[in-house]
């Protein structure tokens, strides 16, 4: 009875844009460029694209098919496939539950920067200590986080069609146009520094797209592989229950294979363009040193780049942070929807009640994360050697530990217990032939599990790469 009453996307376009909206988030626009810069630009890009077409395709196909086949959210879907494997659903639904509180905090940071550039004080954001001063504040980060959460919750409360699908149809085309526009602008500018060295956007673009194999060792190549693997989880929203949830809203007559290909292409294009817009711009004004500034690239390095652009910098900065805000909203909507859907399916409650419950939990969690930069500030060392505060610990547990475990167990369940035919039959349900079928079986049964074990060993500090 529950399945019959389940909401569904109005059409394939709505599903593709919603799923792409989930995939195109801070992971693409924030994490992808700094990993590309760290791992030799074109080399990372090459490895990432190869993995997206093989490893990413396999996980994406599996999760969306599980969703449509069971018409359930992750918490109950795995048990629906095999009653002995229901525990995987608990792990899968824990991921968005843990991600939501800190994702809305980062969304609040993006909102703060957007408002700064919108009100013409973007130059202030380039000052030393601006970012540090903001995130360690007592009240402003909490206010920004709460506003961001309110926007996300509003979309989720409106439901699958009126909320998620409708907003995605508006936000995603605008986001794509913004990304293309800023990418083109970044390629056309040049800058001469105090030493008289002139750097152009095209030079930065070459560093980004042309693989540099100089001094490459097996260890370094392995680091690039592991970094690209980790990035794929962010970029495709796999192993976090989201694609199973969205898959459960896909109609039975939809061409699943075609939709999966479109999501894959959309996401890879946006990830590529994110690098094309950020790396050349940072290179022009800060050289290769600026490109290695790590996760602070977006909140510390880029405002300095926009300031160096002069009068146009404030406008470009405003458009850039508007675009990042859109990407953050569509992703946060999918994270919240995954949790709300789990609560609705498990406890047979209404969307409103499930949404209120998750909203309260996310708000409390978000406040704790914000306080982790002041009143609750501390640092611990993670098994992989990195220092961590509250946000970092939540990120490590959800993304570095649970996601590879969920993906690995999904590969074993579908590849070895139920057999790949379970997914292939679902994709081919309407007579549509499944492309890359042999590749899918090999990746699912053999290659993906090995990759995931390596990723997990590196996360836990057991495998020391490049040493």
Q: How confident is the model at residue 1 (pLDDT cuts 50, 70, 90)?
A: very low
How far, in Å, CA of 252 to CA of 358, rounded? Answer: 29
Does the residue 406 lie in any domain? no
Nearest to 94 by CA among 287, 338, 258: 338
pLDDT attached to residue 148: 98
Supply the Cα-derived Rg of the chain in whole angstroms: 21
What is the C-alpha end-to-end distance of the chain, expressed in Å?
56
Q: Is the pLDDT of residue 170 over 90?
A: yes
Q: List own/partner pairs for 294-301 with CB under 8 A and 24 or more apart.
A: 294/34, 294/38, 295/30, 295/31, 295/34, 296/131, 297/30, 297/33, 297/34, 297/37, 298/29, 298/30, 298/324, 299/109, 299/113, 299/131, 300/131
Q: Is the pLDDT of residue 2 over 50?
A: no
Give the count of domains, the chain: 1
Q: Is the pLDDT of residue 164 over 90?
A: yes
> pTM (2 decimals)?
0.94
pLDDT at 81 over 50: yes
Find residue 200's DSSP bridge partners.
Answer: 190
Residue 290 in contact with residue 36, Cβ under 8 Å? no
Band of residue 349 on the pLDDT scale cut at 50, 70, 90 = very high
Per residue in 411-441, pLDDT (tens digit) is: 999 999 999 999 999 999 988 999 999 999 9
Contact 374, 136 (CB under 8 A): yes
In the predicted structure, residue 35 carries a pLDDT above the cut 90: no
In the predicted model, what is the mean pLDDT of the chain? 92
Calculate helix-pair angle for 57-70, 256-290, nearest 10 degrees.
140
pLDDT above 50 for 3: no
Q: Among candidates 224, 237, 242, 241, which has minimal Cα distance to 264?
A: 237
Q: What pLDDT is attached to residue 126?
A: 92
238 occurs within a structural domain? yes
Average pLDDT over residues 255-260: 94
Query: How many Å apart are CA 244 and CA 67, to the nearest integer?
Result: 4
CATH number of the domain residue 103 falls in: 1.10.4160.10
Return all residues near 84 (Cβ < 8 A) that are at least 6 apart: none
H or E segment to which residue 386 belongs = none
- For range 163-177, the mean pLDDT: 93
pLDDT greater at residue 5 or residue 319: 319
451, pLDDT greater than 90? yes
| Residue 154 or residue 288, greater confidence | 154
Q: How confident is the model at residue 79 (pLDDT cuts 50, 70, 90)?
A: very high
| Residue 388: inside a domain | no
450 assigned to some structural domain: no
Tens of pLDDT, residues 95-126: 999 999 999 999 999 999 999 999 999 999 99
* Residue 390 to residue 369: CA distance in whole angstroms: 6
Q: How far is CA 207 from each of CA 210, 224, 272, 280, 288, rounded to the nearest angstrom? A: 6, 16, 13, 8, 9
Q: Give the mean model confidence (pLDDT) for residues 333-339.
A: 96
Alpha helices in 210-350 (DSSP H): 218-236, 242-247, 256-290, 301-308, 311-347
Note whether residue 410 is domain-resident: no
Sequence-ordered list of residues with C-beta below 8 angstroms from that of 413, at least 6 positions apart, any chain: 78, 81, 82, 85, 88
| Residue at 458 is within a domain | no
* Residues paired with residue 388 on neighbouring β-strands, in sequence order: 380
Average pLDDT over residues 5-9: 83
- Residue 293: predicted pLDDT: 64
Task: Residue 144: give the domain boundaries.
Answer: 14-378+420-434
Report the distance separating Cα 21 and Cα 263, nearest Å.
9
pLDDT tens by residue, 216-248: 888 889 899 999 998 998 888 999 999 999 999
In this prediction, residue 5 carries a pLDDT of: 63
């Amino acid at each position: 009875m529950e399945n019959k009453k389940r909401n569904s996307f109005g059409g394939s376009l709505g599903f593709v844009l919603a799923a792409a909206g989930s995939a195109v988030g801070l992971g693409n626009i924030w994490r992808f460029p700094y990993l590309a810069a760290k791992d030799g630009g074109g080399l990372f890009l090459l490895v990432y694209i190869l993995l997206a077409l093989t490893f990413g395709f396999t996980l994406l196909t599996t999760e969306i098919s599980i969703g449509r086949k069971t018409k359930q959210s992750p918490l109950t879907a795995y048990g629906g496939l095999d009653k002995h494997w229901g525990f995987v659903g608990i792990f899968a639904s824990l991921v968005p539950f843990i991600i939501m509180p800190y994702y809305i905090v980062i969304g609040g940071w993006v909102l703060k920067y957007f408002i700064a550039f919108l009100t013409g004080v973007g130059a202030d954001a380039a000052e030393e200590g601006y970012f540090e001063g903001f995130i360690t504040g007592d009240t402003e980060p909490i206010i920004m986080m709460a506003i961001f959460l309110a926007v996300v919750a509003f979309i989720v409360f409106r439901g699958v069609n009126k909320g998620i699908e409708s907003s995605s149809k508006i936000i995603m085309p605008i986001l794509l146009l913004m990304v293309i526009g800023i990418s083109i602008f970044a390629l056309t500018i040049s800058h001469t520094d105090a030493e008289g060295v002139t750097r152009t956007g095209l030079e930065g673009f070459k560093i980004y797209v042309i693989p540099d194999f100089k001094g490459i060792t097996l260890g370094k190549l392995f680091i690039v592989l592991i970094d690209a693997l980790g990035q794929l989880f962010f970029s495709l929203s796999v192993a976090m229950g989201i694609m199973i949830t969205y898959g459960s809203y896909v109609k039975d007559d939809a061409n699943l294979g075609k939709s999966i290909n479109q999501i894959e292409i959309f996401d890879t294009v946006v990830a590529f363009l994110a690098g094309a817009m950020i790396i050349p711009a940072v290179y022009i004004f800060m050289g290769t040193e600026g490109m290695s500034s790590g996760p602070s690239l977006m909140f510390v390095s880029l405002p300095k780049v926009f300031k160096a652009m002069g009068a146009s910098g404030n406008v470009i900065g405003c458009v850039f942070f508007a675009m990042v805000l859109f990407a953050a909203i569509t992703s946060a909507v999918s994270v919240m929807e995954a949790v709300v859907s789990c609560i609705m399916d498990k406890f047979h409650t209404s969307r409103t009640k499930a949404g209120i419950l998750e909203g309260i939990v996310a708000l409390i969690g978000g406040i704790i994360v914000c306080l982790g930069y002041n009143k609750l500030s501390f640092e611990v060392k993670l098994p992989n050697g990195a220092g961590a505060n509250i946000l970092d610990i939540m990120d490590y547990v959800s993304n570095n530990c649970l996601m590879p475990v969920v993906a690995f167990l999904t590969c074993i369940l579908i590849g070895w217990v139920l057999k790949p035919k379970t997914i292939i039959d679902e994709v081919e349900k309407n007579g549509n032939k499944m492309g890359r079928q042999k590749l899918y079986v090999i990746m699912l049964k053999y290659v993906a599990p090995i990759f995931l074990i390596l990723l997990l060993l590196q996360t836990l500090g057991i495998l020391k790469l490049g040493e």
